[in-house]
């Protein structure tokens, strides 16, 4: 404890320099937390994909529809517990840049398939009772200021209504919450029966199926069995685990993870050298004082610890504040204005950040600390 005061006095010796060093470390860790959140946003879904869920889509591409009648045939495959269908509506709310997913589904089956979507009993009942009813995630509802009871007009880009009308009006009967922080709360879900009877064309066709299986260990085998059922039919399918499907989608965007990791590495490499050099300079400047300390009876290891401790203190203050500020900045909102389905700093990023603080403190401090340890009193005092 008594050394802490000594460390603190050393840092206060050149206040400006200490503050600037802390600030540059702070910036590095702030970026670390922020980019961690962006990375999470892009790879959303991979972590939360159910191990016991498969996705069935048209073999050639996702944009080609499958018949709604496939549902019961998929459910007959051995090992399948339940199958539901979803479709891509692709509408626009107010203006084209307001992007969020809208999907016609069968309410009860959908909610059973996705237990992470939390809807109150009253809202569930209201949805079942209202043909034009829709539910929205908390994230998207907050973004547009929607409340239960609002009438939401969505302009169709693909699915015009019978008679050529392009605007679909939905009654918002519920707002769902996510069971986890990583649950996507930007979805807008409405009823398939209402959709199917109102659309101008494409009756009886759906986008893709989500399938729940009894035993995740058998997913590859069951996926093959599903594809086998529809082989050589007019609509051949490709079935894969939900995780693989989502991963594939993220890969389509490109290797965002690699790009972000490269930026983080560049930032750290740069800042580590800048901050490390400053700390080394601060120690060199005090060669005399360190020699005095040694003359007073501080051991070599004691001086080593002192210098290392000083670097560690600087890094810990800067890094800790940086992670905190990064976390606060992320809390202020998504820079893409809603293009990312989730935007938060995952705990593992914070943990990794704390580990990085320790590593950085050691790397930045070890050279000047060793120098201080090796210092010969007589030489140093004469300088």
- List residues binding other proteins (CB under 8 A): 16-17, 20-21, 23-24, 27-28, 30-31, 34-35, 38, 60-64, 90, 92, 96-97, 99, 155-158, 160, 164, 166, 232, 236, 238, 247-248, 251-255, 259, 263, 266-267, 269-271, 273-275, 277-278, 281, 335-336, 339
Residue 190 or 230 having the CB closest to other proteins: 230
Q: How far is the CB of 174 from other proteins (least distance, A)?
A: 27
User: Which residues, 6+ apart, have CB-to-CB distance to 59 below 8 Å?
Assistant: 227, 236, 237, 238
Identity of the residue, 23 or 179, whose beta carbon is nearer to other proteins in the bound complex: 23
Nearer Cβ to other proteins (166/287): 166
Nearer to other proteins, 157 or 376 (CB): 157
Nearest approach in angstroms of CB 79 to other proteins is 24
Q: Give, in order, the Cα–Cα distances in Å from 112 to each of 69, 201, 379.
A: 20, 29, 77
Considering beta carbons, is residue 78 or 285 the nearer one to other proteins? 285
326: tokens are 């990064």
| CA distances, 332 to each of 42, 161, 211, 335 (Å) | 18, 39, 37, 9
Minimum distance from residue 286 beta carbon to other proteins (Å): 14
Cβ pair 118, 168 in contact under 8 A: no
- Distance in Å, CB of 65 to other proteins, minimum: 9
Helices (H), the chain: 2-13, 15-42, 70-75, 107-113, 121-129, 138-144, 192-198, 219-230, 242-253, 256-285, 287-295, 300-331, 347-374, 377-382
Q: Provide the minimum distance between the beta carbon of 200 and other proteins in the complex, in angstroms, as a whole number.
A: 11
CB of 58 to other proteins, least distance (A): 9
Closest to other proteins by CB, 6 vs 23, is 23
Cβ(369)–Cβ(67) under 8 Å?
Answer: no
């Amino acid at each position: 404890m008594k050394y802490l005061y000594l460390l603190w006095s050393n840092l206060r010796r050149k206040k400006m320099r200490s503050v600037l060093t802390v600030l540059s470390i702070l910036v590095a860790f702030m970026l670390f937390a922020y980019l961690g959140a962006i990375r999470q946003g892009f790879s959303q879904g991979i972590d939360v994909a159910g191990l016991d869920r498969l996705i069935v889509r048209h073999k050639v591409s996702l944009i080609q529809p499958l018949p709604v009648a496939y549902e019961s045939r998929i459910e007959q495959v051995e090992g399948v517990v339940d199958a539901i269908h979803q479709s891509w509506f692709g509408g626009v709310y107010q203006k084209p840049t307001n992007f969020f997913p809208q999907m016609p589904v069968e309410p009860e089956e959908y909610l059973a398939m996705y237990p992470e979507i939390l809807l109150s009993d009253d809202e569930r009942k209201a949805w079942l009772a209202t043909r034009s009813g829709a539910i929205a995630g908390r994230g998207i509802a907050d973004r547009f200021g929607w409340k239960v009871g609002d009438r939401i007009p969505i302009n169709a880009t693909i699915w015009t209504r019978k008679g050529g009308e392009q605007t679909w009006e939905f009654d918002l009967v519920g707002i769902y919450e996510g069971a986890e922080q990583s649950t996507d709360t930007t979805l807008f879900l409405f009823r398939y029966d209402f959709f199917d009877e109102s659309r101008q064309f494409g009756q009886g066709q759906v986008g893709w199926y989500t399938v729940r299986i009894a035993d995740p260990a058998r997913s590859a085998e069951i996926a093959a069995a599903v594809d086998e059922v529809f082989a050589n039919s007019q609509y051949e399918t490709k079935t894969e685990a939900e995780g693989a499907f989502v991963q594939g989608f993220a890969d389509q965007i490109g290797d965002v993870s690699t790009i972000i990791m490269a930026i983080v590495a560049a930032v750290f490499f740069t800042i580590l050298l800048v901050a490390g050099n400053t700390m080394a300079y601060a120690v060199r400047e005090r060669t005399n004082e360190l020699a005095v300390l040694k003359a007073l009876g501080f051991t070599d290891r004691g001086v080593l610890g002192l210098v290392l401790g000083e670097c560690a203190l600087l890094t810990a203050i800067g890094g800790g504040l940086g992670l905190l500020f990064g976390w606060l900045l992320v809390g202020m909102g998504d820079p893409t204005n809603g293009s990312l389905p989730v935007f938060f700093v995952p705990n593992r990023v914070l943990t990794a950040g704390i580990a990085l603080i320790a590593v950085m403190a050691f790397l930045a401090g070890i050279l000047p600390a060793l120098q201080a340890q090796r210092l010969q009193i007589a030489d140093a005092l004469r300088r």
